[in-house]
Structures are given as structure tokens and as C-alpha cells.
Chains A and B, each alone.
Chain A
Amino acid sequence: MIDEVAPSDIDDIEIELLLEALYRRYHYDFRHYARASIKRRLIQARGRLGVASFSALQEQLLRDPAMLAKLLNYLTVQVSEMFRDPSYFRALRERVIPHLRTYPSLKVWVAGCSNGEEVYSLSILFREEGLDQRTLFYATDINPKALKAAEAGVYQLDQIRKFTENHQKSGARTSLSDYYVADYDRAIFDSSLRANVVFSDHSLATDSAFAEMHLISCRNVLIYFDRDLQERAVGLFEESLVRRGFLGLGHKESLRFSDHVAGFANFSREEKIYQRRER
């Protein structure tokens, strides 16, 4: 006799197979993402893409690369704001920047940059602090569509009020309106802000370290990973950072339970900023 199985259990089996298919066919690895969020996003995708089941979705995905782009937009959907959590940017400005000033040239990595809000925020902050000319920014993500949006630097005008408020709270030395022009319902950010930004496809799940960094900002990315993948990502950060380089995480993320915790000192407990130890 075969046991009764709840529909949700069948979903779970199908999701596991779908993620395996996604990895084997396209090398996008979501197998170690936190499952509850992934499941919710896939349920959304299933509804909006009009497929009856995850198995049907898998079949289409395997044969039609156009389905990959559609699915990625559900799996990686990320909303952000410029200067999100202004106190984080204030801490960078007041406490981290003085250390960074001592270097003749700087590299900054925004890992999981999504639509670019954070990299523009940092670019503005570094310009306000007079460090923009000696800084190279890397903005990486796995979603090509997000990278394109980040590179364009165009945001909805109705978000600007919030961005401006955040910017002011971060200890702004200029006005956010110095950096964009309004065009109908859009705010187009000045292309000079991305003159020193390299936008690039990079996966914390499958790619390696690629340059030596002075600051890595990776906020609200690790919460979407399971423990194994978190360890991998933090390992990449540790490997990438110069001695005494800085790592900024999201307010609810921490290295407390990480195997790599010994490699870092708490620089700001409140703002989740860590400093790589000398070995």
C-alpha cells in the first residue's frame, strides 16, 4: 500500500528536482538557498507563469532558455533602497572611511548588488568623502537583468523621497538631487557615479574570489542562504579582504555562528561591520 502524501510534500520533491535541473542545465545553483523563501518565490512563479506544477515548469526550463530569464526574476527578486539603513552608511562614513583614507587606492565589492541602489549609494558617499577618484567598485549579481538595471541607474521617481531621506540620515554632505535628473516618472542617476564601477556576473555559490578588497558590502544576501552556502560566501569574503579590510552585513546577519568568525573582529556590533584580522 502506498502512503497518502500531502500535496505540499509533492511540491517539495518537485522543487528539489527543479533546482537540480536548473543547476545541471544552466549552472545556476539555488540548491543551498534557504528553502522557505525559495518555495514561496517558486509558488509565485508557478502562478504567474501559468504552469500547472513545478514539474511542468522544469520541463519548460530544460528545453527553453527563455524560461531561465523569467524564472531568475522570481528567484532573485530583491527590493532595496538607496542608503537603506542610514545608520549603516553613517557608520561607514564616520568610522570606516578614516581607515580607508590611509590607502592610496581602494577596491570595494558590493556582492549581490541587485538593481544597484547600494553601489550608487556608496559611490555618492565616497565622492562626498573625497575618495571616489582612488576607488574601484565591483558590483556583482547573478541576475543579468538586475545587472543591466544597475548599470542603467534609473529608479522610479516615487522612490526618491525615501532615498533622499535615507541619504540625509546617513550624514550627507551634499544633496541627493545633485546626482540625478528627473524625467517624467523616473530619476536618472549621473553616469559619472558609475565611471569607476565594474558590473559583473558573479555567483557566491559557484564562483571564486577575484580581487583583493578593502571593503565588502553584502547586506541581506546571506539570510537567503543555508548554513553551508553562508560558510562558502563568508570564506570568499575572508579570502578577498586585505588584512584589516572591512565586511558589512545586513542588520540581522552575523558571523557569530560562522566557522570563519575567528578571522574577523567586531568593528561595529550595531551595524554588523566586521574587520578582517591580521593573521
Chain B
Amino acid sequence: MSGMIVIGASAGGVQALLTLLPALPAQFPRPILIVLHVPPDRDHGLVTLFRARCAMHVCEAEDKQAPVPGTIYFAPANYHLLVESGGSMALSADDPVNHSRPSIDLLFETAADAMRSRLIAVLLTGANADGAMGLRAVARAGGTAIVEDPDTAQVRAMPAAGLALCPDAVRLVINTIAPYLLRLA
């Protein structure tokens, strides 16, 4: 696999992703794995919501499956999503991390470990600090770290925490992230 994109978002995340994801073409050359914090007890319906609006294929991440280019994978509700060293996806029902399951840190850290410089991580709007440690791990492993500009994010806490731990991350306004990813791809 040539590379992978991971995205983490919390409060305000649906809106942010509705700006970002539909702007990517069906043939986008990398798979995109997403952790979006949602209440644990219900089926989050994100696949249906985004499938209707995206050119890329949208589905729920499945344990032991290899992600393929042109596809967006959402972590299922109440499971962590991890990346194995060969690049395949793995689920876990371990304890919540930072009160979250799925946890953005876990996705970012395992993906950084597996993909190194071939990883691009994007941390979006949110009201907690999940993802900040993960973003730092991505940068340390030689990957590209991108943070939504906290000044224009719907909720600034999460991107601000990301920038605090990873000051060299690329800081972008939400509607410029898709064009930026297209240039990198």
C-alpha cells in the first residue's frame, strides 16, 4: 500500500467531515480511516450519512481487513480501530482511552507505527484532547501531521491540544484540507 490517511474528530466533527470528505474524488489514491466520537450505545449511522454525499466508497471498518484506496472506513461504535503492521485494520474492545472508545490516539499511534512516513494524520474539531498524543507519534514516525485551525474550528480544544503537542503540524482551515490532501496524494 502506498499510503494511508487517518482522521480524528469529536464535537462538530460531522459538519467538518461533510466539508472535507465530499471534496475528494472517487479515485483518491489512499484509504482513509476515521475515528469520530459518537455515543457508544447506538449504531452511529455515519456510513449511510456519508455514503450519500461522498464520491469515495464509504463503509465501516472490519477486523482483519486490508483497507483499499478510494475507500473511507469509519470505526464502529464502541470499538477501537487500530492498524496492524501490515496495514490491515484491527478492532479491539479494550478500555476506553481518554474516556473514548474508539480513541483517536489509538488509531493514530498504531497507524504511525505501521505506516511511518507513508501516513497523513488529520485532527479536526473537538472538545477534548484525544488525538494530540497520537498526532505527535505520527510526526515522530516521519508522517505528515495536519491540524484544523483552532481559530475557525467549530470547537477549538482538540485541534489546540494537537498543536500544543505537535507545534510543527500543518495548520489549515477546514475547506482547504481536501485540496491539500489532493496535492499530497
Contacts and interface: CB of A to CB of B under 8 A. Distances in A.
Interface of A: 6, 8, 12, 34-37, 39-41, 77-79, 220, 223-224, 227, 250-254, 257
A255 B164 CA distance: 44
B93 interface: yes
A253 B116 contact: no
B141 A8 contact: yes
Contacts of A39: 110, 113
Nearest to B76: A252
A35 B84 CA distance: 7
Contacts of A41: 94
Contacts of A12: 85
Contacts of A252: 62-63, 76, 79, 91
Interface of B: 62-64, 76, 79, 82-85, 90-95, 106, 109-110, 113-114, 116, 141
A226 B154 CA distance: 40
B93 A79 contact: yes
Given A227-B64, A253-B63, A34 B90 contact: yes
B95 A34 contact: no
Contact of B63 (A6, A8, A40, A223): A223
A155 B91 CA distance: 26
A141 to B, nearest CB: 15
A250 B76 CA distance: 13
Contact of A224 (B83, B92, B109, B113): B92
B91 A223 contact: yes
Contact of B84 (A8, A36, A250): A36
A21 B138 CA distance: 31
Contacts of A257: 64
A169 B116 CA distance: 44
Contact of B95 (A6, A8, A79, A250): A79
Given A8-B141, A40-B106, A40-B110, A223 B90 contact: yes
A66 B83 CA distance: 32
Given A12-B85, A37-B82, A77-B94, 12 more contacts: A8-B113, A36-B82, A36-B83, A36-B84, A36-B90, A36-B110, A37-B90, A39-B113, A78-B94, A79-B94, A224-B92, A252-B62
Top 8 A-B pairs, shortest CB-CB distance: A220-B93, A36-B82, A36-B110, A37-B92, A36-B84, A223-B63, A34-B90, A223-B91
Nearest to B95: A79
A194 B144 CA distance: 53
A165 B168 CA distance: 46
Contacts of A223: 63, 79, 90-93
